Amino acid sequence: MDNDTMEQTGTKWTTKALALPVLLFGLLIGYLAWVATENSVARAAYVVGFLLIAYWLYTPKSPRHIIIRQILSLCLIWGCLVIFAFTWAMFEARPELFGKVDAGEMQLMLTSIRLSFGFWGVVFALGAFFASRRIYRSLERNLQLSGLFSRYVPPSVIAQMLKSEEDFFKTHKVELSVMFVDLRGFTAASANLTAEQVKELINVFMGIMIPLAHSWRGTVDKTVGDEIMVLFGAPIAYADHADQAVKTALAFLKAHAEVNAEWQKRGLPSLQMGIGINTGEMAVGNIGCKERVDYTVLGHHVNLGARLCGKAAGSQILISEYTRAHLSEELKRLVPPENYLEIEAKGIAGTVKAYSVNTAPG
């Protein structure tokens, strides 16, 4: 099931199905309270409640709006029950506000209305309990997702994750593409720079490259010194992750001219970068201990991607044979068979088959 379908059939509609009757009932009770009282504060509270319900029905576009709406859902559900209880108490104290009847019929009317209040009070209290429990669990999950993944992906991806019922905290094996980017000569250059200059150099590099990775649907797994590690195909799965990885690498090389120009403007040295990409089955999920947990990938194919990056020359993109096999025909034209080479990679037995990507089509 794709994300759009899950959005229509998943948590959002289930939650509405549970909570909306309670909210509509609260609207009805609020109207009765409006009619029964001339208190301006009570009427203002009713108007505010109506506006909050309108906001609740609004389809959110960002993680913040999704979480706010869930909090409002809890407030509105229990607020409706408070209004219900208030109306019941007001009826018991001043039944004449709800209509004038003959004294002989008063006792019968009171008994009937009390039974109705009792029955519907139990029904909506149970409905509120189960709806609130579901919303609370969803809210707790969404707060955890937002807190964890805001470091790795942009808000638009987090919003997709919040609308999905997939368990993103579970560690599992899946086919992904991973890209490693590393500056060439950074260690030597940093030896001749002050601490502030080293920080400035890295900040310029990361400040341009990380948003660029996000724009190509990449998940920035981590940055270690001058190295950037980007995943494609997780946490939101998509089939063309190998294509996206190569397109991102080409975009990185193009943007690196902007990085170098900014470095030169600030009196910093110009550096080249090498890029390595691999595709294969990797263990992905929250990995670590209770003191520190990170969303990351592990496995042979991750290590191979890092080794390819280490072997890439400045301004070169090296991809594995596995990545090339997953590319679309359009991108395979940038990786012709004659670009094949064999390299020796540390920690990997035998030689590794790799391809250099043509950075200028044609």
- The whole-number average pLDDT for the span 8-34 is 53
228 pLDDT exceeds 70? yes
pLDDT in tens, 63-95: 667 777 777 777 777 777 776 777 667 666 666
All structural domains of the chain, each given as residue ranges with its CATH number in brackets, are: 3-149 (no CATH), 170-356 (3.30.70.1230)
Mean pLDDT of the residues in the chain:
79
Q: Rounded to a whole number, what is the distance in angstroms from the first to the last CA of the chain? A: 39
Is residue 271 very low, low, confident or very high in pLDDT (cuts 50, 70, 90)?
A: very high
Percent of the chain with pLDDT over 90: 42
- CA angle centred on 48, ends 43 and 54, rounded to 5°: 130
Residue 2: predicted pLDDT: 40
pLDDT at residue 4 greater than cutoff 50: no
Instruction: Report, as an integer, the average pLDDT of 209-228.
Output: 93
How many Å apart are CA 32 and CA 54, to the nearest integer? 19
Of the ranges 52-66, 156-170, 269-283, which one carries the lowest mean pLDDT score?
52-66
Is pLDDT larger for residue 13 or for residue 203? 203
Share of the chain above pLDDT 70, in %: 70
C-alpha of 349 from chain center: 38
Three-class SS of the chain = CCHHHHHHHCHHHHHHHHHHHHHHHHHHHHHHHHHHCCCHHHHHHHHHHHHHHHHHHCCCCCHHHHHHHHHHHHHHHHHHHHHHHHHHHHHHHCHHHHCCCCHHHHHHHHHHHHHHHHHHHHHHHHHHHHHHHHHHHHHHHHHHHHHHHCCCCCHHHHHHHHHCCCCCCCCEEEEEEEEEEEEECHHHHHCCCCHHHHHHHHHHHHHHHHHHHHHCCCEEEEEECCEEEEEECCCCCCCCHHHHHHHHHHHHHHHHHHHHHHHHHCCCCCCEEEEEEEEEEEEEEEEEECCEEEEEEECHHHHHHHHHHHHCCCCCEEEEHHHHHHCCHHHHCCCCHHHEEEEECCCCCCEEEEEECCCCCC
Over residues 120-131, the pLDDT tens digits come to 767 777 777 777
- The pLDDT of residue 149: 79
The contacts found for 204-211 with CB under 8 angstroms, 24 or more apart, are 204/259, 204/262, 204/263, 204/266, 204/268, 205/259, 208/255, 208/258, 208/259, 208/262, 209/181, 209/252, 209/255, 209/259
> Omega of the bond prior to 21 within 30 degrees of 0, cis?
no
Q: How far is Cα 88 from Cα 38, in angstroms, rounded to an integer?
A: 17
Residues 178 and 320: beta-carbon distance below 8 Å: no
From CA 127, how far away is CA 104, in angstroms rounded? 36
State the pLDDT confidence band at 105, using cuts at 50, 70 and 90.
low
